Amino acid sequence: MSGRMGDTVLPTADKGETAAGRRAPGGGRARSGVVRRTNSRPGPYVSGADRGRIGRDRRDRTGGEGARMRERVTVGCLVLLNVVLLVSFVVAAYLWISFERAERENERRQEAAADSLLERDRDTADRTAGALTASRDTGTDALLDVIRKHTGSPVIAHDEDRRVFTAVVSRAGRYDPEPMPFGVTGEFERCFAHTYARRPGPGWTGEVAERDRSVCEGSERVGGRVWSARRELEGLAAGRLTRDGLQEALDADHLPSEESRSEVRDVVRKGRTVVALVLFRERYWTPDDEEAEAEQCYRLTRVLVPGDPYAADDPGGGTGESVTAVPVAAC
């Protein structure tokens, strides 16, 4: 074998052999030598184990690129999630701080408005005490009427021995609230107890103290029943202006007298004036979760218009020109 690198040289005939070629063993003619050129040099020998290793390396490189891609996607998702959580936390913290600030400001404004209500009630107590001192009629009923006119309290308790009157009244207040997520109306109520006592000497003194809201509930309910009784008495036919007629109008359930919330004690008619004595009761719960009862006796007065029949059995009826309600010490 001879020739340049990259050429493949086949065996040639010996000298003296014809161009037709030499005979091969067995009578045949042998092919003459031919030089063939190849375009590339032969590569190194690669065993089967090496080919398997190379394939595995290629697969590992492909799998590694996929793993790195998945890792980058995972990291990106985690970063995005952290950003979302951070923004949510910042927004929630801002809303919470704003809510706390608005709540504290609303509490401050409400307390300022409540203090203003208390000051006004103290002024009312001073005027009431002055009116009690100036009253020429020192009877219990007259003093009750003076307190009712100035305070507006539906229920006024009195201690005859100590000469002390106590009236509880509910006051409504309002303030301009800071905006809040759940909304605030800016309206509130306070319960005040007015105490009037006759001290040594000619004058009366008045004191005001705030009480639990439940203390005023019984008084408010009694006030509602008084208002309803005035409407009933105003529209009652003249023929029904009796104790039984008014009782039926005020208590349609016909409860026993000790259970009735509006118990008619007496009805008296003089000319065109009808006077009814009614005891109003209401139960309520104290701050100690104990049941209590508020009661007040009222004198209801109705003046009939001219032309109304006066006979109790006359169903003609009429309309009340006016009905007044005044608290009295006893029915």
Domain carrying residue 252: 212-331
**pLDDT at position 93 over 60:** yes
Cα–Cα distance, 248 to 35 (Å, whole number): 141
Report pLDDT for 49: 61
Has residue 150 been placed in a domain?
yes
| Rounded percentage of the chain residues whose pLDDT exceeds 90 | 39
Which has more pLDDT, 196 or 160?
196
Give 90's pLDDT tier (boundaries 50, 70, 90): confident
Phi, psi (degrees; rounded to nearest 5) at 300: -100, 130
Same domain? 70 vs 179: yes
Q: Which of 241-245, 285-289, 303-307 has the lowest mean pLDDT?
A: 303-307
Which carries the bigger pLDDT value, residue 3 or residue 330? 330
**Shared domain check, 241 and 175:** no
Residue where one domain finishes, among candidates 211, 243, 262: 211
**Is residue 140 included in any domain, yes or no?**
yes
Residue 54 maps to a domain: no
Judged on CB neighbours under 10 Å (0-12, 13-18, 19+), 320 is: buried
Here the tokens at position 14 are 């010996």
Beta bridge partners of 302: 274, 323
185 and 291, same domain (yes or no): no
Are 156 and 233 part of one and the same domain? no
pLDDT value for 22: 47
The helix (run of H) or strand (run of E) holding residue 268 is: strand 262-270
Q: Give the pLDDT of residue 286.
A: 83
Q: What is the mean pLDDT of residues 65-92?
A: 83
Q: How many domains does the chain have?
A: 2
What's the average model confidence in pLDDT over 69-96? 84
Same domain, 222 and 200: no
**CA-to-CA distance for 322 and 136, rounded, in angstroms?**
26
- Report the predicted TM-score, pTM, of the whole model to 2 decimal places: 0.66
Of 71-85, 109-123, 238-252, 305-319, least confident by mean pLDDT is 305-319
| 76 and 190 inside one domain | yes
- The answer as to whether 329 is a domain residue is yes
